[in-house]
Amino acid sequence: MSTPRLTAAQLDLAYGKARVVHDLSLTVMPGAFTAIIGPNGCGKSTLLRALARLHRPQGGEVTLDGRSLQSLPTKEVARELGLLPQSPTAPAGITVRDLVARGRTPHLGPFTPWSAADADAVARALHATGLKGLADRPVDALSGGQRQRAWIALALAQETEILLLDEPTTFLDIGHQYEVLDLLHGLADEGRTVVAVLHDLAQAARYADQVVLMSAGLVLASGSPGQVLTAQRVSAAFGLPVTVVPDPVTGTPLIVPSRAPAARTVHAVDVRPDVDHTEATLASTDSHERTP
Amino acid sequence: MSARALSLGAHIRSPRRPTMVVAAAAALLMIIAVVSLSTGQMPLPLSQVLRAAVGVPSEGADFIVGQLRAPRVYTAALVGALLAMSGALLQSVARNPLASPDLLGITSGAAAAAVTGIAVLGTSSSLALAPFAVAGALLTAGLIMALGWRGGIQPLRMVIAGIGVGFVATSITTFLLTRLPERAAGQAYLWTVGTTNVRVWNHVVIGVVALAVISLSAAWLQRRMRVIEMGDDLAGALGVRVPVVRFAAVGIAAISAGIATALAGPIGFVALVAPAIARRLVGSGAIALGASAVVGALLTVVSDLIAREMLAPMQLPIGLVTAAIGAPYLLILLTRLRGSL
Amino acid sequence: MHLAFLIALVLLVAAVGASLALGAKPIALGTVWDALWNADAGNEEHGIVRQLRLSRTVIGLAVGAALAVAGALAQSLTRNPLADPGLLGLNAGAALAIVLGSVFGGIQSAAPQAALALIGAAAAGALVYGVGGGGGAAAPVRLALAGAAVTALLAAVTSAMVLADQTVLNQLRYWLAGSLTGRSGLDFVPLVVVVAVLLALAALTTRPLAAVALGDDAAVSLGVRVGMTRAAVMGLVVALAAVSTALAGPIAFVGLAVPHLVRSVTGASVGWLLALSAPVGAATVLLADVAGRLVARPGEISVGIATALGGGIVLAVLARRMRTVAL
């Protein structure tokens, strides 16, 4: 295992007077997929932003290779850390290729011309995200999942070892969510360090190597999904009594509420659609999306 | 949502408030009008002023007050009232505090049409030009509605279209003014910025008639528009013909702005500011035509006084004063609306 | 894209030719060529070309390129399809500053006027951006409204100044409507050089600007200094607008219309947008000027009015096509 490069030490993060993260220390596992989870307002996005150099710490520091992030030249950091921002908006009408090409910015000075190496990096990023066929389409014409992949491709074109993603699956259809997660998993497999803020606990359990559970600005636990996602910890963090069962497919922790919906008189409902379209729908989706 | 709640609440809590506001503002208007009539390079005793103001012949005051100041002040008041009502109607239709005939290019369109009228008819009598101005206003209103229409009235889109159309209209006006004979060049002020200089009793008469007619139609509209403000669906369910009322409102707003422009040029910002002040005074978010009219009149009479006296004997155009008052207001409004616009 | 650039250059050359050859007295192109390179002091036509038309052509080139690029920069930076130096009040601020300088300081020559214009444009721009800036679904409209408010105010003050003082009126009346002929002599040449320098600087901001157009977070993670880029680009926009106003008076809409036109060909690429906006903008202004000369022979419609007419139409069309949030 390679040495950890990105760490946070005694981090204090605040918005104005409101302190969001308290004295937080964290070592990001290199070459692995780390998921940061926790209830809304626990500071997980703020933590990610601090790791991405978007939020200046009020106390403590984030270090990259032992050097404080704030002290490093911006361009140098940009060559090491790639970011998928939360709800990114692309300029109107921009094509996928153009968008991804902007990921080369940290490698280009004001007078450096566009070279074959840059074009190669873009091509590789498009290939890795399965967007080669869509490269000349406008980004706003893509589906949610495809758009996220385009932004990830931008970060990939940056050719950074570390990728930070702020809620990459929020607002996506379930199919697209897993599309993105599979991609991230593949990237971690290649040896990149992937850190993502996720809100779905089961997804974090399935995909992450390291899970960081936060609550109220503190890290409650950090470790493998099995270690972190215990009934007691999740209940404490989210304020809901839960039961943890093994995921029937992967065996990773699956969180379900302990209490069933209140009993009520159930009126028998007879489900009998006039025509069942399920088979036809399945047949058509098979022939669509999956090809890069 | 809160505006609707407020309007319902205001109805329930103090139904007399609008009346009180109108009465108070009207009283204030009369006082300021008298002050305005009495102020000037030649001081005159109050009794003479008052007599001349209502047309009773009295020596000394008769010419200055009767022929110079009174028409000017009264025209200012009427124009202010007409513009304010126009703005109130548009703001209610658009559900947006930024809608007003000047920002939507309607007054510019009216001015351009009026100047075209001068070129065509060779006269600059307000009576002759009024139809041109009204036609111009209606045409412009129709144009921006059409441009801003996308499955319904889209106020922001309308505003953009309005700014564009306004620029086109202003450039037409500027161009035509350079083509007109020399004497008309003095009209440049009138048709680009708006002025109450050199108004005569004809103007006042036209203004009074217009105001009367428009007030009557506006009263009919107001009740229905209050209902529409609570939501199209609810209004429909209560039996209000929403599209008809809307079109009527925009039409009357355009006519009102057109006549105001024919009388004193495209005076800006009154139609924007007065209804907002009126709404705040009346305490409900709903349309308040009567209060708007009086506040508008107040605003223009004060502006006219400032325009006349601040740098006497040089006369500023009233449009400049209203811009000086109104532009900062618009800027403050925009700042405050930042989040919710 | 390279083809488009070539076409734009050809268009520009044609516009220059038209500007030199056409007018109240049409002059053959061959004569124009002679007038430029082998001038004969006695030849009347050579005189027209050199004395009258050459300077207005050069000014038209500079102003057109400056305004179009300023608009392109502003639109890319603010992600606002309605950004335009005229709509943002920059031209009105510059014009007022120049008028004040003329009325109170008797300042007539180009360079000091340009300096005043810079201050006026910067002040107006700061006010407009301060009020109407920021994000949100209605940001374009808010900015346009702030610009309209500030422009109305400044324009009113300017007309009051001008109409109050007869001498100023006579000197500045045509300039205020936007005209390529307001400058006599050669004192405008340094300003044209300044425009060239500003355009070169604009080219340097291409890449950082492309990153900032992706949003602050993305830009920072791409290693771009967002604050500095913003300040530099805004500074360029203000400077270009100010110098342009000092050269030819307040001309609106070139900065609005040309980038939209160009973008329909170049897409969202910032580099090509800037590269094509300059020649297309210059050609537009020159052609508007020529049209103004031809349509109203022997008088002319000033460039400012022609562009206001055309640009107002463009704005109205944009209103139709905009994706705005319904209230």
Contact C316 B168 (CB under 8 A): yes
Take residue C320 and report the two structure tokens written for it: 């139709």
Contact B/A (≥3 CB pairs under 8 Å) = no
Sign (positive or negative) of CA dihedral A211, A213, A217, A220 = negative
pLDDT of A279 reads 66
pLDDT of A264 reads 75
Task: State how far the Cα of B301 lies from the Cα of B307, in Å rounded to an integer.
Answer: 10
pLDDT of A99 reads 92
Backbone phi and psi for residue A221, each to the nearest 5 degrees, phi listed first: -160, 150
Give the type of residue at A61: E
Q: What is the pLDDT of residues B237-250, one digit of tens each?
A: 877 777 788 888 88
pLDDT of A228 reads 92
* Residue B26 pLDDT greater than 80, yes or no: yes
With beta carbons under 8 A apart, name residues in chain C contacting A91: 76, 79, 213-214, 268
Backbone phi and psi for residue A210, each to the nearest 5 degrees, phi listed first: -125, 130
pLDDT of C297 reads 65
Q: Is A10 helix (H, G, I), strand (E, B) or coil?
A: strand
Out of A78, A86, A91, closest to residue C268 by CB? A91
Of B97 and A34, which is predicted with more confidence?
A: A34
* Burial status of residue A220 (CB atoms within 10 A of its CB: 0-12, 13-18, 19 or more): middle
Cα-based distances in Å from B328 to B322, B325, C88, C150: 10, 6, 15, 8
Q: Assign A34 a pLDDT band (cuts: 50, 70, 90).
A: very high
Mean pLDDT taken over chain B:
79
Out of C146, C308, C311, closest to residue B331 by CB? C146
Sign (positive or negative) of CA dihedral B249, B251, B253, B256 = negative
Residues contacting residue A11 through CB under 8 Å, at least 6 positions apart: A21, A23, A24, A25, A26, A47, A50, A57, A59, A60, A61, A62
* Residue B54 pLDDT greater than 50, yes or no: yes
* Residue A193 pLDDT greater than 80, yes or no: yes
pLDDT in tens, chain C (327 residues): 788 888 888 989 888 888 888 876 777 777 777 777 777 777 777 777 777 788 888 999 999 999 999 999 998 888 777 788 888 889 889 989 988 888 888 777 778 888 899 999 999 988 888 777 666 656 667 777 788 788 888 887 887 777 666 666 666 766 777 788 766 667 788 888 999 999 999 999 999 999 988 888 888 889 898 888 888 998 999 999 999 998 888 887 888 888 988 888 887 888 899 999 999 999 999 988 888 888 766 667 778 778 877 777 777 777 777 654 432
Least confident of B29-38, B125-134, C34-43, C120-129: C34-43
Give the type of residue at A167: E
User: Shortest Cα distance from C300 to chain A (angstroms)?
Assistant: 39
User: Shortest Cα distance from B159 to chain C (angstroms)?
Assistant: 8
| Angle subtended by helix axes B289-309 and B318-336, to nearest 10 | 130
Determine contact, residues B276/B105, Cβ cutoff 8 Å.
no
Half-sphere exposure of B3 (CA within 13 A, CB side): 17
Provide the 10 A C-beta neighbour count for residue B243.
11
**What's the count of helices (H) and strands (E) in chain B, helices before strands?**
16, 0
pLDDT of B12 reads 40
With beta carbons under 8 A apart, name residues in chain B contacting C131: 331, 334-335
Query: What b/e sequence results for B128-143 when a residue is b if at least 16 CB atoms lie within 10 Å of its CB, and e otherwise?
Result: bbbebbbbbbbbbbeb
Q: What is the pLDDT of residues B143-173, one digit of tens each?
A: 888 887 766 666 677 777 888 888 888 888 8
User: Shortest Cα distance from B219 to chain C (angstroms)?
Assistant: 26
3-class SS shares of chain C: helix, strand, coil, % to 5: 75, 0, 25
Give the type of residue at A56: R
Q: Is B39 helix (H, G, I), strand (E, B) or coil?
A: coil
Contact A78 C223 (CB under 8 A): yes
* Residue A176 pLDDT greater than 70, yes or no: yes
* Residue B8 pLDDT greater than 60, yes or no: no
User: Pairing mode, if any, of strands A33-37 and A210-215?
Assistant: parallel
Overall size of chain B counted in residues: 341
Take residue A112 and report the two structure tokens written for it: 């450096």
